[in-house]
Structure 1
Amino acid sequence: MDHSAHNKIVSFIWSIADDCLRDVFVRGKYRDVILPMFVLRRLDCLLEPTKAVVLEEVRFQREDAGMADLDPHGLQDASGYVFYNTSPFTLKTLLGNHSQLEANLKYYLDGFSDNVKEIIEKFDLRNQIRKMAQSDVLHDVIEKFVSDEINLSPDDRKGVDGRTQVGLSNLGMGYVFEELIRKFNEENNEEAGEHFTPREVIKLMTNLVFIPVKDQLPNPLTIYDPACGSGGMLTESQDFITDPEGEIKAKVGVFLYGKEVNPETYAICKSDMMIKGNDPENILFGSTLATDDFSGKRFDFMLTNPPYGKSWKSDQKSIVEGKDVLDPRFQVNLGNYTEEEHDFYPAIPRSSDGQLLFLMEMVGKMKRLADSPIGSRIASVHNGSALFTGDAGSGESNIRRHILENDMLEAIIQLPNNLFYNTGITTYVWLLSNAKKASRRGKVQLIDASNLYQKLRKNLGEKNCEFSEEHLQQITQLYQDMPNDGISKVFENRDFGYYKVTVERPLRLAAQFTPERIATLRYTPGMQDIMEWVYAKYGDAVYSNDLQSGLKSHAEAIEDHIEREEMALSPKNRKELLNVATWLAQREIMQYAQQLADAIGDAEYLDFNQFEITFDQTAKGLSLKLASNEKKQIINAITWRDERAAKVIKKVHKLNAAKQQELLAELATTADKLADYGYWPTEKSSEYIEYETDSELRDTENVPLDRDKTRHAHDVIHAYFIEEVRPHVDEAWLAIDKTVIGYEISFNKYFYQHKPLRSLADVTQEILDLEKETDGLLKALVSFVGAQHG
């Protein structure tokens, strides 16, 4: 549309808020009135030309046909839209009776079809009307909206100054509305980008989604946006396909579907569908993640800009229960790391960011190739975290793995920063298809379009740049040509995958009974600090239940100390802290340890294996019946990690020939390599030692997946271990059963360009030049001051 006319409309409507609402609503609430009134006036403008025809249809149905209930289809035919209004009023004629304005306006709203009434409800417009009427500004607001100073109808007309006012097209309506949203949200420090994706980004997405299959478009075709906002992507996609002057010019039936959780933007989207003649019933209200309202339906094309960096905790109860995934949309069928078995894994990202759940929603609604030769195509905008956040085995990584291993990802395009209205962060367009052409199978194209932009003359929120038509054509051409050069690079799917391998090292423990170590057993592990303070303050009173002098008598003071020191103590630990039984149990453990120390002595043991034998024999000789947790607590108190100590043996495996072959088959290795997997041979051929692992020395290595799948996973991992780990840590081994496959994509890694540092001579010269410049300025300043006081 004409941008000057667009800006004039925005400025005029923006002025209504200041002129009429300043003393009635706080500034942050202006939008609650202005946005629904803007939509209402637009609907009113569309219905004005057929008002008489609709009223005649109402008369005919009631009087001539004698119908008790009006037929909505006849009324829709009369209005020319999928909505109508049966009241005798328009917004302009309402102004004729000031005293009855509120009542007549309510009657006018009651005359709308049910689909418009839902929009009015979602806007909470009736409540806003009541507030305006009470404050005596309702007439002024309506008068402004029906003013001849702006044209909100789709047809050109003469303005009050005699000049032609260009009609507001449906596309222009979207621009005006979303610019108002941006301005209001900027005022409220909210995020306009939640509602509005820049049109040039949508144009890029439609280019990438539709152009490659423009000669194979099904008729009719369906388009879906699971986070449709105000409907921009849906209607832009429809226009892109059917525009008689566009590239595709397809004469096909287009059916739009969407879902939106924000009531206000849902109302906008639904009204936009009605205005443009689409079926508003295909736009649903509610959380896409919480309920699968389009269950069983599949779509030809899907485009979305889902919320990213946003919590989805409110939807969690509908998706997961504990570790169980309740919604099959968010499960993926993956092989294990040897790729020989498959099972369902959760595709649940962290609760702070649910953007990839929207991608899974769309993936699950792709058409089967048996039903459509082009399958389904998806374009989705994400921030950088969708590329790499989440370790191997996490929900995010499982989603990436599912998409890549099923060969759905065609390309990812990095967009310029500051392209969106609400954020300056880097964003990416993901392009998916389940019917790749032969040249793309098994491959992913990455395009770095971060430097393809032109600057805006004036910033719009965070947005300070945009794509030109030339940039859009360049990116689209790069995608179609698929070069592996410059800002376009092509990779194998498996290039993004890796085995996350756990490398273990043996635990080495030294042991010694000392008074200081024994004394720590007076306190429960995890509550050492607070119990130590309590005992230092009240001594043996902690072992008494006496109400006057025992532990309970000091409870209030102990609680005050916890609060004052801001100690993080769970309710359970607080209860145990003030329970004499807890103290008595710990004292008994300490006494056991003292008895053992008296018998064993205070010698330092550097072989824990021998020490444990001595410990057990001594306890038995003293008739100490230690529970496993008591023994563990004493051992933990008197041992420490020590490089000088011997390795702690977990188990000695005595394997006959059959058992050995079973173990070798399980590990997919040979007897001479068993030590690399944690089974260390002794002098006896059938005996292997398994050592305790040291969790503090545990490490992980990311081993790239073998690109052509020619080697078994064990061989790839083992070769990496021998080359990269064993030379540096000769006692390490692979915990092969902990291996997990992960996938991540790093644009920085693939497009990084090294910039050499400037030479020392250049830096030195720059410093000297700056010193000269500074010295000259100081001399000039001194001369000036001297002249002033001379």
Structure 2
Amino acid sequence: KNQTLKDICKNDKSFNIDFEAYLHGFDSETKDLLGVDATDGEKFLDIKGVITKLNAKKVLLGYTKEWSGIDLKPFNNSDITTLEEHIKRRWADISAETAGEQYTPDDVIGLIAEIIASKIEESDRLLKIYDCTCGGGNLLFGVEDRINEKFNRFTQTYGQDWNDALYALARIESRFRPGSKIEHGNTLTNDKFYNDDFDVVVANPPYGVSWKGYQKDIENDKTGRFKYLPSISDGQLLFMQHLISKLDVNGIGVVVHNGSTLFSGDAGSAESNIRKWMLDSDFVEAIIQLPTDEFFNTGIHTYLWVLNKNKDADRKDKVMLINASEKFRLLKKNI
């Protein structure tokens, strides 16, 4: 009936029926990502579950009215997706269940994009950008947007995430970006881009998250990407090895880690051997220590690892260690 959300909120008698019809008016992929026809349990954005909760509190109509009154036109889709991810991460970071999964702050994305921009040049060749733990896509798409502001190059984004809701957010955003491909699943056990390599990789993989649940798959991995298997309690160095395997011969990458990637494991341990392999292969161009308190609800130190498979001659067999921990300016108020 071409009714807007605002229209269907005017009649509280027929609201429930109209709202159901409104949701079923979307195309099949949008309905799938929203979870409109989900029959059992949560599905991606779980709109069914949200409606059930709001109905139980008798506030569905009130909420929908509030939403329908907000003019979203001044915001581009990326702003809205970033806001949604920000809200999801804000609460996810407090819950123990997703501890270690950190939303990448905007200033860190800006810094990552600057580093990458300093190493690419104008070209008519497609620039392929990949994030193996892309969440809602704010890092992946944020880097793409900043590169597009600086260069006249065609870019294409590729991402994968196993969190249902965050994958759905990234997938929705990807529909506004030519050629963007976002896949659902566990990168470490089911790489959806196993045939691809990339010009640029970026990632902020989960910190200190165990890989015990899929230990057998990783031990039997046939791709050759894992040279050594780190401690089962922390998968960060698995993601690091995966990302290096995805870089093409001239590829560059910037990956955000906590200190564990640098310091865990004694000499001779798998962690130590992974670092030795990375340095012997001369993949690491720089390690940058960032200020603390960059990430929600944690004061930990974080580090940018700058990967480069094609270093300048004067940088070969050298690693820059940059202490940027004091290079910050406090905001006037909480963002």
Calculate the TM-score normalised by the size of structure 2.
0.89
CA distance in 2, matches of 1:188, 1:350: 24
CA distance in 1, matches of 2:202, 2:10: 46
Q: CA deviation at 1:182?
A: 4.9
Q: Match of 2:202?
A: 303
The AA in structure 1 aligned to 2:195 is G
Q: CA deviation at 1:106?
A: 2.3
Q: Match of 2:171?
A: 270
Larger helix percent:
1
Q: Match of 2:330?
A: 455
1:419 equivalent to 2:294? Answer yes
Q: Match of 1:235?
A: 141
Residue pair 2:102, 2:295 contacting (<8 A) in 1 also = no
CA distance in 1, matches of 2:95, 2:62: 24
**1:374-430 alpha-carbon deviations (Å, 9 max, x no partner):** x11010011111112112332212221221111111111011111222321111100
Please give the residue correspondences for 1:143-182 in structure 2 after superposition, counting only pairs within 5 Å. 143-147=65-69, 150-153=70-73, 167-182=74-89
Q: Match of 1:106?
A: 20
Q: Residue 317 and residue 297 in structure 1: after superposition, are their counterparts in 2 closer, same or farther (change >3 A)?
A: same
SS of equivalent to 1:266: helix
Residue pair 1:305, 1:382 contacting (<8 A) in 2 also = yes
Q: Residue 395 and residue 102 in structure 1: after superposition, are their counterparts in 2 closer, same or farther (change >3 A)?
A: farther
Residue pair 1:182, 1:192 contacting (<8 A) in 2 also = no
**1:8-62 alpha-carbon deviations (Å, 9 max, x no partner):** xxxxxxxxxxxxxxxxxxxxxxxxxxxxxxxxxxxxxxxxxxxxxxxxxxxxxxx
Q: CA deviation at 1:131?
A: 3.9
Residue pair 2:102, 2:204 contacting (<8 A) in 1 also = no
Please give the residue correspondences for 1:341-740 in structure 2 after superposition, counting only pairs within 5 Å. 347-368=228-249, 375-459=250-334
SS of equivalent to 1:367: strand
CA distance in 2, matches of 1:181, 1:114: 24
Q: Match of 1:124?
A: 46
CA distance in 1, matches of 2:128, 2:75: 27
CA distance in 2, matches of 1:192, 1:355: 14
Q: CA deviation at 1:451?
A: 1.1
The AA in structure 2 aligned to 1:277 is R
Q: Match of 2:110?
A: 203
Q: CA deviation at 1:363?
A: 0.8
CA distance in 2, matches of 1:188, 1:419: 18
The AA in structure 1 aligned to 2:245 is G
Q: Residue 197 and residue 252 in structure 1: after superposition, are their counterparts in 2 closer, same or farther (change >3 A)?
A: same
Q: Residue 296 and residue 200 in structure 1: after superposition, are their counterparts in 2 closer, same or farther (change >3 A)?
A: same
Q: CA deviation at 1:219?
A: 2.0
**1:625-673 alpha-carbon deviations (Å, 9 max, x no partner):** xxxxxxxxxxxxxxxxxxxxxxxxxxxxxxxxxxxxxxxxxxxxxxxxx
Q: Residue 98 and residue 457 in structure 1: after superposition, are their counterparts in 2 closer, same or farther (change >3 A)?
A: same
Q: Match of 1:331?
A: 226
Q: Match of 2:40?
A: none
Q: Residue 291 and residue 175 in structure 1: after superposition, are their counterparts in 2 closer, same or farther (change >3 A)?
A: closer
Q: CA deviation at 1:330?
A: 4.0
The AA in structure 2 aligned to 1:152 is L
1:214 equivalent to 2:214? Answer no
The answer to which structure, 1 or 2, has the higher relative contact order (CA under 8 A, 6+ apart) is: 2
**1:485-519 alpha-carbon deviations (Å, 9 max, x no partner):** xxxxxxxxxxxxxxxxxxxxxxxxxxxxxxxxxxx
Q: Match of 2:189?
A: 290
Q: Identity percentage over the alignment?
A: 36
CA distance in 2, matches of 1:105, 1:384: 49
Of the three residues 33, 45, 60, the one matched with 1:138 is 60
CA distance in 2, matches of 1:418, 1:135: 37
CA distance in 1, matches of 2:242, 2:205: 11
Q: Residue 397 and residue 256 in structure 1: after superposition, are their counterparts in 2 closer, same or farther (change >3 A)?
A: same
Residue pair 1:259, 1:283 contacting (<8 A) in 2 also = yes
CA distance in 2, matches of 1:186, 1:410: 31
Q: Match of 1:490?
A: none
The AA in structure 1 aligned to 2:66 is K
Residue pair 1:196, 1:230 contacting (<8 A) in 2 also = no
The AA in structure 2 aligned to 1:363 is I
Residue pair 1:102, 1:129 contacting (<8 A) in 2 also = no
Q: CA deviation at 1:438?
A: 0.5
Q: CA deviation at 1:187?
A: 6.6
Q: CA deviation at 1:128?
A: 2.3
Q: CA deviation at 1:185?
A: 4.2
CA distance in 2, matches of 1:359, 1:433: 13
CA distance in 2, matches of 1:193, 1:92: 39
Residue pair 2:100, 2:208 contacting (<8 A) in 1 also = no
SS of equivalent to 1:293: coil
Q: CA deviation at 1:97?
A: 3.7
CA distance in 1, matches of 2:19, 2:245: 45
**1:438-463 alpha-carbon deviations (Å, 9 max, x no partner):** 11111111111111111233356xxx
Calculate the TM-score normalised by the size of structure 1.
0.39
SS of equivalent to 1:443: coil
Q: How many correspondences in the alignment?
A: 327
Q: CA deviation at 1:186?
A: 6.5
Q: Residue 381 and residue 285 in structure 1: after superposition, are their counterparts in 2 closer, same or farther (change >3 A)?
A: same
Q: Match of 2:132?
A: 226
In structure 1, the gaps of 5 or more residues are 1-86, 154-166, 333-346, 369-374, 461-790
The AA in structure 1 aligned to 2:221 is L
CA distance in 2, matches of 1:349, 1:401: 13
Q: Residue 308 and residue 182 in structure 1: after superposition, are their counterparts in 2 closer, same or farther (change >3 A)?
A: closer
Q: Residue 260 and residue 285 in structure 1: after superposition, are their counterparts in 2 closer, same or farther (change >3 A)?
A: same
SS of equivalent to 1:212: coil
Q: Residue 190 and residue 152 in structure 1: after superposition, are their counterparts in 2 closer, same or farther (change >3 A)?
A: farther
In structure 2, the gaps of 5 or more residues are 36-43
Residue pair 1:193, 1:421 contacting (<8 A) in 2 also = no
CA distance in 1, matches of 2:136, 2:9: 30
Residue pair 1:193, 1:422 contacting (<8 A) in 2 also = no
CA distance in 2, matches of 1:329, 1:113: 40
Q: CA deviation at 1:314?
A: 1.6
SS of equivalent to 2:332: strand
- Superposed CA RMSD in Å reads 2.3
Q: CA deviation at 1:436?
A: 0.9
Q: Residue 92 and residue 329 in structure 1: after superposition, are their counterparts in 2 closer, same or farther (change >3 A)?
A: farther
SS of equivalent to 1:213: coil
CA distance in 2, matches of 1:264, 1:205: 25
Q: CA deviation at 1:137?
A: 2.1
CA distance in 1, matches of 2:266, 2:297: 28
CA distance in 1, matches of 2:288, 2:196: 28
Q: Residue 351 and residue 264 in structure 1: after superposition, are their counterparts in 2 closer, same or farther (change >3 A)?
A: same
Residue pair 1:260, 1:288 contacting (<8 A) in 2 also = yes
CA distance in 1, matches of 2:30, 2:297: 30
Q: CA deviation at 1:135?
A: 4.4
Q: Residue 111 and residue 224 in structure 1: after superposition, are their counterparts in 2 closer, same or farther (change >3 A)?
A: same
Q: Residue 298 and residue 390 in structure 1: after superposition, are their counterparts in 2 closer, same or farther (change >3 A)?
A: same
Q: Which has the larger Rg?
A: 1
CA distance in 2, matches of 1:234, 1:168: 19
CA distance in 2, matches of 1:187, 1:93: 37
**1:49-95 alpha-carbon deviations (Å, 9 max, x no partner):** xxxxxxxxxxxxxxxxxxxxxxxxxxxxxxxxxxxxxx633212222
SS of equivalent to 1:450: coil
Q: Residue 305 and residue 444 in structure 1: after superposition, are their counterparts in 2 closer, same or farther (change >3 A)?
A: same
Residue pair 2:209, 2:233 contacting (<8 A) in 1 also = yes
Q: Match of 1:602?
A: none
The AA in structure 2 aligned to 1:113 is D
